[in-house]
Amino acid sequence: MGYISTLKCIECGNEYAIDENISECLHCGNILQFVFNYEELQNKISKKELDKRIFPLGVWKYQEFLPINFYPDPISLGEGGTFLHESLNLAKELGIDLYLKDETRNPTGSFLDRGTTVIMTKLQRLGIENVRCVSIGNFGVSVAAYAAKAGIHCEILLPRDGIDIGKLHQMIIYGADFVPETREISEIEKRAEKLTDEFFYLKPTNPYFLEGIKTIAFEIIEQLNWYTPDRVIVPMGKGSLLSMIWKGFKEFYKLGLINSLPKMTGIQSEGCSPIVNAFKRGKKHATSIKTVKTIIADLSFVNPSDGFRAIQAIQESGGVAEAASDKEILEAESLLAKSEGIFAEPAAATTIAGLKRLIDDGHIDKNEKIICVITGLGLKSPEAVKDMLSKIEKAERLIREPEGRMIVKRIGDTKLRILEILSEETSYGYEIWKELEHRFGKTIKVPTVYQHLSELAKLSLVKESDLEKANGSERKYYMLTEKGKKVLEMLKKLF
């Protein structure tokens, strides 16, 4: 904390003491950010000093740039230090000099782990025992995982609309409790802020959380041997990822560690692009939109909380903002996987879709050295992958289909029914098979039942009971574990 001078509002400029436990400006309600004393930092940090650091690696390598001390041990799962691919195949196809910053390699599969390690370390040192957040995707997954590591109870308020089933499974496995909500996400966030109980309400705009995100910029510079790329392309939802990467570049620039700054370029889906719309109209603030027409849930924020800083960063850097269609994004996801072996979720593939559009429109100089930030792992979004594999041209129709509750019902339904059967009594494979057909109309083969049981056992949701002899043969019985009972109870809340 010795290198921080103040905590300052990004909008009105109000300043607060760095030890005040607040997440937003008390005057205007906008985002707060830490301002560092760069003169003191300059005496501590150099290229030579950073180059020789073998431990710690990742986010905590840049501990002087973070608002909390590294010692004692931080709450870490090994976040950061992600690979920077020189994209030879895709670059050749597009005719440019392209690198990919692969954030899918973070512990829970997204860049958000960089921020969560910082804020969860802070909360543990404050003695916080319960944390609550609102999320439909990666943020909730990251908070759930790091809360588990910190020994902090985690509760997630989960909007029904836009639930990403792959990420919901992760939240459950990490042991988070969740509360299904019927309101829109913005209304849930407002209600969560008003709750006054023993829970700490964690928002993705928390200043401690945000400072961890900027370490992406530090790593890019070091991985390019202290050279600055010409352009960095970033997906935009709330806008914080782009604005914090820009903050990281500027901090290295202020310390004289780099001699130039990159053009920041932000990409959104055409079905929800308030930041892009505002930038193109020359406005400083993103105007709230009324309807969302995209399947890219992780970028679907109708009123982006950090749109102001994202637009400011793009303008300051001489960059540009662009939107791509869902079809272009899903095609880019497939192209990235087939050309570079990186399986990204649709939100992460927006950078490739946006890059292609910018090249086609003549906004990209073929001589530029370009970094695309790939923010999240494709395995986290099975629904989007299924849509892509079936037929990309169905994307527009799928946008109009009701999601959320029906998706949850459809995915993993057989395993859910098996858990329900075992919640009533211990049973064996053949009997479970009969019950599935008799009670739920499930016509599957007996070996498939055992495959489901094996997978449930690997998740520690069921376990084998005693063997019982019958008609000269042995039957293997199964029963629910305590974890299985808890997961079943939580899944039932969604119906």
111 in Cβ contact with 241 (< 8 Å): yes
The pLDDT of residue 390 is above 60: no
Q: If pLDDT is split at 50, 70 and 90, which confidence band does 85 have? A: very high
DSSP 9-49: ETTT--EE-TT---SB-TTT--BEEEEE-HHHHHHH--HHH
Residue 51's contacts (CB-CB under 8 Å, 6 or more residues apart) are 222
SS3 197: coil
The pLDDT of residue 395 is above 80: no
The pLDDT of residue 394 is above 60: no
Q: Mean pLDDT, to the nearest integer, of 91-100?
A: 95
Q: Mean pLDDT, to the nearest integer, of 87-94?
A: 94
The pLDDT of residue 52 is above 90: yes
Specify the pLDDT at position 402: 41
Best-predicted range by mean pLDDT (8-22, 84-98, 450-464): 84-98
Count other Cβ atoms within 10 Å, centred on residue 24.
Answer: 17
Q: What is the pTM of this model?
A: 0.79
List pLDDT tens digits, range 375-388. Answer: 999 887 655 555 55
Q: Mean pLDDT, to the nearest integer, of 292-309?
A: 91
CA 373/CA 103 separation, integer angstroms: 7
Check the CA dihedral 231-377-160-30 and report its sign. negative
Task: Output the CATH code of domain 412-492.
Answer: 1.10.10.10
User: If residue 102 lies in a helix (H) or strand (E), which one and from where to where?
Assistant: strand 97-102
Q: If pLDDT is split at 50, 70 and 90, which confidence band does 197 have? A: confident
Q: Do domains 84-101+239-400 and 412-492 have the same CATH topology?
A: no
List pLDDT tens digits, range 408-427. Answer: 343 367 888 888 999 998 99
DSSP lists the bridge partners of residue 267 as 235, 322
Radius of gyration of the chain from its Cα atoms, rounded to whole angstroms:
24
Specify the pLDDT at position 161: 67
List pLDDT tens digits, range 123-143. Answer: 999 999 999 999 988 999 999
Residue found by looking up tokens 């920077």 in the block: 84
Q: Mean pLDDT, to the nearest integer, of 149-177?
A: 87
DSSP lists the bridge partners of residue 179 as 157
How far apart, in Å, are the Cα atoms of 332 and each of 90, 325, 357? Answer: 11, 11, 11
Pairs from 281-285 (Cβ < 8 Å, separation ≥ 24): 283/311, 284/308, 284/311, 284/312, 285/311
**Structural domain boundaries of the chain?**
84-101+239-400, 412-492
CA 295/CA 291 separation, integer angstroms: 12
Task: Decide which of 3.40.50.620, 3.40.630.10, 3.40.50.1100, 3.30.70.260 is the CATH code for 84-101+239-400.
Answer: 3.40.50.1100
174 token code pair: 């990490």
Amino acid (one-letter) located at 259: N
Amino acid (one-letter) located at 163: I
CA 82/CA 73 separation, integer angstroms: 21
The pLDDT of residue 468 is above 70: no
List pLDDT tens digits, range 279-299. Answer: 999 999 998 888 889 988 889
Specify the pLDDT at position 23: 83
Average pLDDT of the chain?
88
Q: Which of 492, 453, 445, 493 is nearest to 475 (CA)?
A: 453
List pLDDT tens digits, range 476-486. Answer: 889 999 888 88
471 in Cβ contact with 452 (< 8 Å): no
Q: If pLDDT is split at 50, 70 and 90, which confidence band does 18 have? A: confident
Q: Mean pLDDT, to the nearest integer, of 244-267?
A: 98
Q: Which of 270, 287, 432, 408 is nearest to 350 (CA)?
A: 270
56 cis-preceded (ω within 30 degrees of 0): yes
Specify the pLDDT at position 393: 45
Burial tier of 18 (Cβ tally within 10 Å: 0-12, 13-18, 19+): middle
List pLDDT tens digits, range 326-337. Answer: 999 999 999 999
Q: If pLDDT is split at 50, 70 and 90, which confidence band does 194 have? A: confident
Q: Which of 154, 152, 199 is nearest to 172 (CA)?
A: 154
Per DSSP bridges, beta strands 97-102 and 84-86 are antiparallel
296 in Cβ contact with 269 (< 8 Å): yes
Residue found by looking up tokens 């211990």 in the block: 426
Specify the pLDDT at position 464: 87
Residues of the chain with pLDDT > 90: what percent?
62
The pLDDT of residue 366 is above 80: yes
Q: Mean pLDDT, to the nearest integer, of 73-85?
A: 97
